[in-house]
Chains A and B, each alone.
Chain A
Amino acid sequence: MIALDRKKAPEFHQVNNIKFLKPKSISLKNDIPLHTLSGGTQKIVKIDFIFNAGLWYQNQPLIAHATNALIKEGSKNYTAYEIADGIDQYGAFLQSDVSFDQASVTLYTLNKHLKKVLPFFKEVICSPLFSEKEFNIYKNNALEKFKVNLEKVSFVARSSFMNAIFGENNPYGRSPQISDYENLSLKEIQQFHANFYNLSNCEIVISGNVTPAIITTIDDFFGQENLGKNNTSNPNNISQSTNNNKIWIEKKGALQSAIRIGRQLPNKLHEDYFGLQIFNTILGGYFGSRLMKNIREDKGFTYGIGSGITSLQNGGYFFISTEVGSDVTNQALTEIYKEIELLQKEEVSLDELNLVKNYLLGQILKSCDGPFNMASLFEGVHFYGLNYDFYNNYIQAIKEITPKTLLALGVKYFNKSDLTEVVVGKV
C-alpha cells in the first residue's frame, strides 16, 4: 500500500452542471398569477403571497411594517387569537415580512392540513380588520423593541448608514424615530392596506410538494375573490445621493464600535452587476475574503467583518459591516480602506480569482438546493422582469471574468471619496 500523501489535495472538479427547478406559471380564475416550484421529498408546502407593498411605497416610516404585522391580528370573521389558534392548531406557521420593495405573507404547512388551515389564512389575506385595540398593542410593543434596538451599535449604524446614502426623502433611506411610533396612525395603515394589499397587486408562489390538487384548492379559495383596484403608482421620487459623508455617533461606554462603509450601486439590471458581485466577494463576501483575512485573521480586531451588495427595484447599495474593539477603531478603518485601495491598484492573482470563482459556483449550486431555495431564486429574478437566464449569465460571467475587469470596476466604483462612513461607538 502506498503511504498517504496528506500534503496533496484530492482531485476536484469545478461545478458545471447546475440544474434549476423550472417554475410553472398559471393564473387563478380571477387572473392572480400563480407560480409553482415542485420538488423535494417531504409532503410540505410553502405558500407566498407577494405584494408590491415594501418600504418603497410608504410615505412615512413604519407604515409598511405596521400594515404587514397587523393583517394577522384579527379579521372580519375571526379574532386575532382565533386566527393564531386556527393556524397553530394544525402545526402550520404564518409568517409575514417586509423588504425594501415587497411585502409577503407566507404559510408553511403539511399538505395534509392545508385545507383546514386555509380558511384562516384567507382571512388574513382578504379581510383583515385593523382594530384600534390590536393597533395599540402593536404600537406599544413595537416601540419597546425599537428602544432596545437603539441600544445596539450595529442597529444604529445600519440605520444611519441607509439614511446617509439614500437621503431622508428616499423611502429606502428614511430611518424611523421614536416620534414616528407615537405619530403612527391607524387610518394611514388602513389606507396603505387598501392601496397595496389588494389581490390585483399580488402574485402567489408555491414551493415544495405542489400537487395538482393543491393548485385546485388554492384556486377554489382565492380564485373567486374580487381583485380590487390596483394602485401601485409609486408616490416616491428617486433618490438623492449623498456621498462622502463621515458620520460618527457617540454611544457612551461602548466596548465596540460598529462600522458601516459603502455607497449606492446599480441594481441587477446593470451590466456591471455580476462583476461587482465578484469584486465584493473578493473584498468581503466570504470567510476567506481580504477583509476577513486582514482584520479578523491577521489583526484580531473583530469577531467578524463582511461586505455585500443589495439589489433593489429602484436602486442598490454596497456595504461593509463590522463591530471592532473601541480601542482599535481607527486602525480598523485604515486597514479597511487599505484593502479597498489595493483592489484598485493591483490585479487580483489568478490563484485567488480561481478560488473565488469555484467558491461562487459552489454557492450557486447550494442556493438551488431544494424547492424552497429555488423559490427564493425565482422571486429574486421574476420581480425584476428577468428569468433564470440571469443565473446562467452569472455563471458565465464568473467563468469569464478577468483580473483586469475587476481592477477597472474597483477604479470605477470604489474610490474612497465616493464612500460614506458611519461609526457608532465610543468617540
Chain B
Amino acid sequence: MINFEKFTLKNGLKVIVHQDKSTPIVAFNMLYDVGARDEDKNKTGFAHLFEHLMFGGSINIPNFDEPLQKVGGDNNAFTSNDITNYYITVPKDNIETAFWLESDRMLSLAFTEKSLAVQRDVVIEEFKQNYLNQPYGDVWLLLRPLAYQKHPYQWPTIGKEIAHIENATMKDVKAFFYQHYLPNNAILAVAGDVETKHIQSLTEKWFGDIPAGKVPLRNLLKEPQQTEERRLKVERDVPANAIYKAYKMCSKTHQDFHATDLLSDILSLGKSSRLHSSLIKEQKLFSEINAYVMGSYDDGLLVISGNLSENIDFETAEKSIIQELEKVKSEMVSKTELTKVKNKIESTHEFSETSVLNKAMNLAFAELLGDANDVNLEGEKYQQVTPEDILRIANEILNETNCSTLIYAKSNNK
C-alpha cells in the first residue's frame, strides 16, 4: 500500500506526495505526457532527441547536472512511445535543488546550437549502439511497421531512421518544447521522508509562476483491426535463427490487460512456465524463448520471441509455438497454474516497493492513466482474473490472423 496526497497548482501541474520515513533519499519524478507516438511520421525520434536536449542547460542555469551532483544527487530520464520521464534522487536535505533545476527547464531551455549539434551526434551513436551494431538490434525497426500500419507505434522511440535525427532543426526543437513541456501537461511525484506541506510550498515557489499553455489535442490514428496473417523474412549476419511473433492485444487501461499479462506469464515467466519447459527443456527446439506484453497506453502487442536451437528449421520451431498456444486456447488453465503467476505478481510488487524511486514513478504513471490510487488496486485486479478470462483472451488474440511474424534468418555465408 502506497499512501499519498495529491494537489494541483493553478497552472495545472499535478503533484503527488508519498511519505516514506525509512529512507534518507528523496525521489523526484517529473512525467511529461508526450512520447514517440506524438511525433510527425517524417520527424521520428524527436521526443527522445528532445529528452537529451533537456540536459543542455535551461534559461537561467547553464548546466543541469553539475548543480545536482554538487548536492549529492543523481538523475536520468527515459522516453517511451507513450511518455517522457525525468527522475532525480537526492539526499532529503537538498530536495530544493531538484525543484530549482526541474522548474527552470520547464520554464524554458537555453536552446543553444551547440547542444543540438552534439546531442544529434550522441543520439545517432545511441542508434548505432543499440539498434544497428548489435546482433538482432534492428528487430523493432522491422517488427513495429509490420504490426502497426496506421498508429504511430509503427516506429521505435529512437526513430525510423538516422536521417530523421540528422534533420532536426532548432525550429523543430522550440516548437516541440512550447507545445508539450507545459505544467498542465506534466505530473510531479515526490517520494521520501518529506512533509506534504513542505512539498506544497516548494512547488508553489518554483513552479507556481510558470504559465499554463495549450496542449495540442492528441488525435492519433487508431490501428484498424488486423484480419490477415503478416509475415516478413530477413537475412542477417547473426549466429542463430530467431523468430518473433507479435499478437495484437488491448491497451494498458483496458479491463482485459491484467488477464492478458497473466496469460503471457503462464507462457513464459520463470523456468516452470510452458514455453520454457516444453520448447527448451523437453523438445529442445529453442535455446531461448520469451513471451511478454508491451504494456503500451494504446492497443499493444503480446510478443513471443525465441532463438532457435542449431539445426532446427523455422517451420518446426513455429509450429511448436503455435501448438503451445493451441493448448492454452483449448484447455482451461488450472487454478494452481493461475495462482502461481498471481503469486509472482504479488511478490514482484512487494519487492518493487522497496525503492522510493519506483514508488514515485508508479504513482506518476498511474495518475497519467487515470488515478494515482490505481497503484494500490492493481494487485487486486490481478487476483480477480479467472481461468475463464485466460481462456477467452487466449482465443481472442492468439490467432495467426492477429499476428505479425518476423523470421530473422542467419545468412548462409556464415
Contact = CB atoms under 8 A, between A and B. Distances in A.
B205 A300 contact: no
B350 A144 contact: no
Interface stretch (A121-129, A168-176, A240-248, A351-359): A351-359
Interface in B54-91: 59-61, 65-67, 69-74, 89-91
Given A89-B340, A148-B238, A42 B272 contact: no
A282 to B, nearest CB: 12
B129 interface: yes
B239 A372 contact: no
A368 B89 CA distance: 14
Interface in B105-137: 107, 117-126, 128-130, 132-136
Contact of A109 (B103, B126, B270, B347): B347
Interface residues of A, number: 77
A39 to B, nearest CB: 7
B351 A370 contact: no
Contacts of A42: 350-351, 353-354
Q: How large is the interface on B (under 10, 10 to 19, 20 to 34, 35 or more residues)?
A: 35 or more
A383 interface: no
Nearest to B95: A10
Interface string B255-281: 000000000000001111100010011
Contact of A137 (B100, B120, B280): B280
Contacts of B355: 370
Of the candidates B65, B121, B133, B281, the one having the most CB atoms from chain A within 10 angstroms of its own CB is: B133
A287 interface: yes
Contacts of A150: 239
B72 A363 contact: yes
A12 B123 CA distance: 33
Contacts of B122: 296-297, 300, 302-303
A253 B121 contact: no
A37 interface: no
A84 B270 contact: yes
A157 B70 CA distance: 34
B318 interface: no
Given A89-B336, A325-B125, A110 B347 contact: yes
Interface string B327-350: 000000000100110111111101
A299 B118 contact: yes
Contacts of B346: 91, 110
Interface string A111-133: 00100000000000000000000
Given A144-B307, A358-B72, A303 B129 contact: yes
A87 B340 CA distance: 9
B96 A10 contact: yes
A355 B134 CA distance: 36
A151 interface: yes
Given A300-B125, A302-B122, A358-B69, A10 B97 contact: yes
Given A13-B94, A90-B343, A358 B125 contact: no
A40 B100 contact: no
Contact of B344 (A72, A88, A148, A363): A88
B309 interface: yes
B24 interface: yes
Interface string A145-157: 1011011110000
Of the candidates A7, A92, A140, A297, the one having the most CB atoms from chain B within 10 angstroms of its own CB is: A297
A336 B354 CA distance: 39
B118 A288 contact: no
Contacts of A147: 239-240
A93 interface: yes
Contacts of B65: 287-288
A40 B240 contact: no
B56 to A, nearest CB: 9
Nearest to B103: A6
B93 interface: yes
A194 B109 CA distance: 62
Contacts of A366: 25, 74, 89
Contacts of A368: 24
A137 B281 contact: yes
A417 interface: no
A188 to B, nearest CB: 23
Given A4-B206, A6-B60, A363-B72, A145 B347 contact: no
A9 interface: yes
A40 B22 contact: yes
A19 B92 CA distance: 14
Contacts of A148: 135-136, 238-240, 307
B284 interface: yes
B20 interface: yes
B354 A372 contact: yes
A365 B287 contact: no
B209 interface: yes
A12 B100 contact: no
A12 B125 contact: no
A41 interface: yes
Given A110-B350, A288-B65, A144 B287 contact: yes
A171 to B, nearest CB: 26
A362 B73 contact: yes
Contacts of A93: 347
A324 interface: yes
17 contacts: A4-B209, A6-B59, A9-B67, A12-B93, A39-B22, A81-B272, A85-B340, A113-B343, A141-B309, A144-B307, A145-B287, A148-B136, A150-B239, A256-B125, A299-B121, A366-B74, A370-B23
Interface of A: 4, 6-7, 9-15, 18-19, 39-44, 72, 80-81, 84-85, 87-93, 108-110, 113, 137, 140-141, 144-145, 147-148, 150-153, 253-256, 286-288, 296-303, 323-325, 354-356, 358-359, 361-363, 365-366, 368-370, 372
Given A91-B348, A140-B287, A370-B355, 13 more contacts: A4-B209, A6-B107, A7-B60, A9-B97, A41-B353, A44-B347, A88-B269, A109-B347, A145-B288, A147-B240, A300-B118, A370-B23, A372-B354
3 tightest CB-CB pairs across the interface, nearest first? A362-B72, A300-B121, A91-B343
